[in-house]
Amino acid sequence: MDSLRAIGVLIAVALGIGLAGCATPERVALAPVQRAAIAELRTHVAVAPTEASPTPSSISPLDAAEHRRAFDDALRRELPKYPIRLGAITAAAQALDAPERARLFGELKPAQALLLIEPQARLSADARTLEADAVVSLWTREAGERRPVQRVLLRYRSQPLGSGGAASLAGWSADDGAALHAALRESVIETIDMVLLEFDLAVPPVLTEPPRAFAVNLGGAPGAVRGQLLKETARRATVLGEDGRLYSLPKPLSATAANANTVTAAR
């Protein structure tokens, strides 16, 4: 793979959110009674080939199969840590269309839940940051096909690389795209971690401190996400945004090991 192809960044997946004709709120919290009724969790991840952006049109997209394998590996490693019996885990390198969604739902048995993860990834407009989003929804046979019992948008942002534009693209593509692939793997791990956090958030979440601003690159302009800190390590912060989304955000590179303690919101 040449260095330009290695940049293949980018995974802009159409988010096939909800069944055709259904209007679903952006955030649906999982009620305790619904959580208690789930005896087994089935999981499906849908990743599709996408366009390369904002890189030149000659750059081919990153193989969706690699993204799928990363999710498959992370799910099989991380989901067993959650205290619920696991059923089938599948990850497909294709978008989830209505017939496939209906098939997956039709296979549900009583007390089973279907966890759908529909990810997308791309470089920011200034090419400094890998932006990876995922729509996550949870469906049960008892609740029916028209509305999930849980739904949330998860957003991962990598540590910015380089000064933007060509300089950043060169950094992502160096060493056969080593930095890009590392960021993509981290995005998958962080996404699964946010999925598990979301399962256990109280309804409504119990705030342990006032909302505050967390700095983030917005494609060339400094920005911030306002919200509640859920988890913190030396490198990253997981935040429940005031907009109802979960964010995995990079901390400044000057962050020290003294900040490595994990802080989790009350459940």
What integer pLDDT is reported at residue 159 of this predicted model?
94
Strand 222-232 vs strand 150-157: parallel, antiparallel, or unpaired?
unpaired
Partners of 248 in beta bridges: 156, 238
Letter for the amino acid at 12? A
| pLDDT greater than 70 at residue 13 | no
Task: Look up the pTM and report it.
Answer: 0.80
Two structure tokens written together for 120? 């997308």
| Helices 64-78 and 165-200, axial angle in degrees (round to 10) | 30
Over 70: is that where the pLDDT of 86 sits? yes
For residue 23, the tally of other CB atoms under 10 A from its CB is 7
What pLDDT, on the 0 to 100 scale, is given for residue 113?
Answer: 93
Encode pLDDT of 158-210 as tens digits. 999 999 999 999 998 888 888 988 998 999 999 999 998 888 776 666 667 78
Q: Which of 4, 13, 12 is nearest to 59 (CA)?
A: 4
Give 233's pLDDT tier (boundaries 50, 70, 90).
very high
Cβ proximity of 177 and 238 under 8 Å:
no
Residues 221-235: what's their mean pLDDT? 89
CA angle, 156 then 223 then 207, to 5°: 65
Query: Stretch 82-87: mean pLDDT, rounded?
Result: 84
Q: How far apart, in whole angstroms, are the C-alpha atoms of residue 119 and residue 95? A: 9
Q: Is the pLDDT of residue 30 over 60?
A: yes
pLDDT of residue 192: 92
What pLDDT is attached to residue 205? 63
Number of C-beta neighbours around residue 108 at 10 A? 18
Q: 118-171 pLDDT, tens per residue?
A: 998 888 889 999 999 999 999 998 887 778 999 999 999 999 999 999 999 999
Contact in structure between 147 and 24 (CB atoms under 8 Å)? yes
Please give the residue that has the higher pLDDT: either 117 or 15: 117
The pLDDT of residue 254 is 46
Q: How many other C-beta atoms can be found within 10 angstroms of the C-beta atom of residue 78?
A: 16
pLDDT for position 17? 30
Question: Token pair 């089938």 is at which residue?
Answer: 88
Res 48: pLDDT: 65
Separation of CA 230 from chain center: 16
> Which amino acid makes up residue 79?
L
Token pair recorded at residue 132: 């990876």
- Model confidence at 1: pLDDT above 80: no
Asked whether the beta carbons of 140 and 37 are under 8 A apart, the reply is yes
Q: What is the pLDDT at residue 49? A: 59
> pLDDT for 36-79, tens place per residue?
889 999 999 998 655 444 443 334 445 677 778 888 888 888 88
Residue 92 and residue 72: Cα distance in Å, rounded?
9
Would you state the pLDDT for residue 24?
53
How do beta strands 150-157 and 246-250 pair?
Answer: parallel
Q: Which helix (H) or strand (E) holds 259?
A: none
201: amino acid identity, one letter = L
